[in-house]
Copies of this chain bind each other. A is one copy, B any other.
Amino acid sequence: MAHDSTRFHDDAEGDEATTGNRLSIPSGAHESNRAPFAIERWMVRKLLSLIGHPPLTLELWDGEVITGDHPDNTYQIRLRDPGALYQLLSNPNMAFGDLYSSGRLDVDGDLPDLLTMLYQAADGAREHWPAWIRKLWDSHTPRSTGIDDARSNIHHHYDLGNDFYRLWLDTAEMQYTCAYFEEEGLSLEQAQLAKLEHVCRKLRLQPGQTVVEAGCGWGGLARYMARHYGVRVHAYNISKEQLAYAREEAKRQSLDHLIDYIEDDYRNIEGQYDAFVSVGMLEHVGTSHYDDMADVIHRSLKPDGLALLHSIGRNCPRPMNPWIEKRIFPGAYPPSIGEFMGLCETQSFSVLDVENLRLHYAETLEHWLARYEANEEQVRAYYDDDFVRAWRMYLAGSIAAFRASSLQLFQVVLTHGTNNEVPRNRKHLYQSPAAPEDA
């Protein structure tokens, strides 16, 4: 495992938010032992008002508690120093995560619940924001996803180390994408295998067919397809750590004669296949490269082949959360459903099926967070406390984003516009449970 805890702080600069939008911070802002000024109390109330008067109080560095206009005080946020307040005011989307990571902001109670409440309150309130607030809080330029930058973006996140991800992902196939909780009460392992099965059924895989996978993670889908459907798979990825694991695992399971794990960018996919599949990669492609993606699918899919794209998305276009983009997923951008369909339109693909699994991702993340928290001591042994808290924030914030419908999860099946060999109905997806009885 790469114990590279410095990576997480690669461009954090001390106390200030690093977005370029910042209020000038008055002298004395960092002195956590002084009493709040009247204007600071006023600003806290203003902040509560701007995010829609949620049932929330803010405790300041000297212990003073500021309440808003909401009758309930279900949730509490504590700010440890005046600087934390100014950063929060300057860009709450960016600062909340950084302040939480460094321990200068803390919360009482359940973190996902509090964040869900904040997301919902802010979503309802944002249409009333003045233009300058919108500009201040929403501005963020995600990193490039060109063929060279993509490598460093992916390295930043996916090469944190297989041991790290093993601490909290499912033990069945190391799936770092939304599971399919087709029924209540499934284990994470069952639901991840159900997702793999659901994807295979949507692709109508037949023994002997060929499949190309763009962005294969630790290779679990490729192995599932080879094992259960007897297909040959070319699986592309640019994360070295993931590929090393994927190859080893395929060999261990004696599936390596059916799978080629290829270290290369999706734009370099070669050959023609019966199926094209990409689960959880489109988020990293970036809308400016959707033409490339559509072109790759168009040239690598046989005339009667089916393609499946599985991606986090949105109900309408919105800037990526800047903290997640900067600290967790460089270059990431979840497309709106319209942008997603725009990708399909550039090659006149026929969209056959769209399924939205939003709440399945909230449930998946709840499992991940629970396992992560149960293993925090092990994470702390590798990284520092800031890292531990940052990843807790990322997982909890993601739960909140899916619960509050700020994020969606779209599974889209498409084919060439000219393909008339399309399935008559979707009945066969449901003829038996997709989840194994135990896993």
List residues of A whose CB falls within 8 A of some B CB.
120, 123, 181-184, 315-317, 336-338, 340-342, 344-346, 348-356, 358-360, 403, 405, 408, 410, 417-420, 422, 424-427, 429-431
Q: Could you tell me if A350 and B355 are in contact, using CB atoms closer than 8 angstroms?
A: no
Q: Could you tell me if B345 and A356 are in contact, using CB atoms closer than 8 angstroms?
A: no
Q: How far is the CA of A130 from the CA of B419 in the complex (A)?
A: 27
Chain B: CB-nearest residue to A194: B425
Determine which residue in A120, A346, A420 has the highest number of CB atoms from chain B within 10 A of its CB, and name it. A420
Q: Which residues of B contact A181 (CB under 8 A)?
A: 424
Q: How far is the CA of A425 from the CA of B359 in the complex (A)?
A: 11
Q: How far is the CA of A336 from the CA of B424 in the complex (A)?
A: 21
Chain B: CB-nearest residue to A345: B316
Q: Could you tell me if B315 and A427 are in contact, using CB atoms closer than 8 angstroms?
A: no
Q: How many protomers of this protein does the assembly include? A: 2
Q: How far is the CA of A345 from the CA of B429 in the complex (A)?
A: 28
Q: Could you tell me if A427 and B182 are in contact, using CB atoms closer than 8 angstroms?
A: yes
Q: How far is the CA of A420 from the CA of B363 in the complex (A)?
A: 13
Q: Could you tell me if A349 and B315 are in contact, using CB atoms closer than 8 angstroms?
A: yes
Chain B: CB-nearest residue to A124: B418
User: Would you list 19 pairs from A and B whose C-beta atoms are within 8 A, ordered by A residue?
Assistant: A182-B427, A183-B424, A316-B348, A337-B345, A337-B351, A338-B338, A338-B345, A350-B356, A350-B358, A351-B356, A353-B355, A356-B422, A359-B424, A360-B424, A405-B417, A405-B418, A425-B430, A426-B426, A426-B430
Q: Which residues of B contact A340 (CB under 8 A)?
A: 341
Q: In the complex, how many angstroms separate the beta carbon of A172 from the nearest chain B beta carbon?
A: 20
Specify which of B182, B338, B344, B356 is in contact with A315 (CB 8 Å cutoff).
B344
Q: Could you tell me if B430 and A427 are in contact, using CB atoms closer than 8 angstroms?
A: yes
Q: Which residues of B contact A341 (CB under 8 A)?
A: 336-338, 340-341
Q: Could you tell me if B355 and A420 are in contact, using CB atoms closer than 8 angstroms?
A: no
Q: How far is the CA of A120 from the CA of B419 in the complex (A)?
A: 11
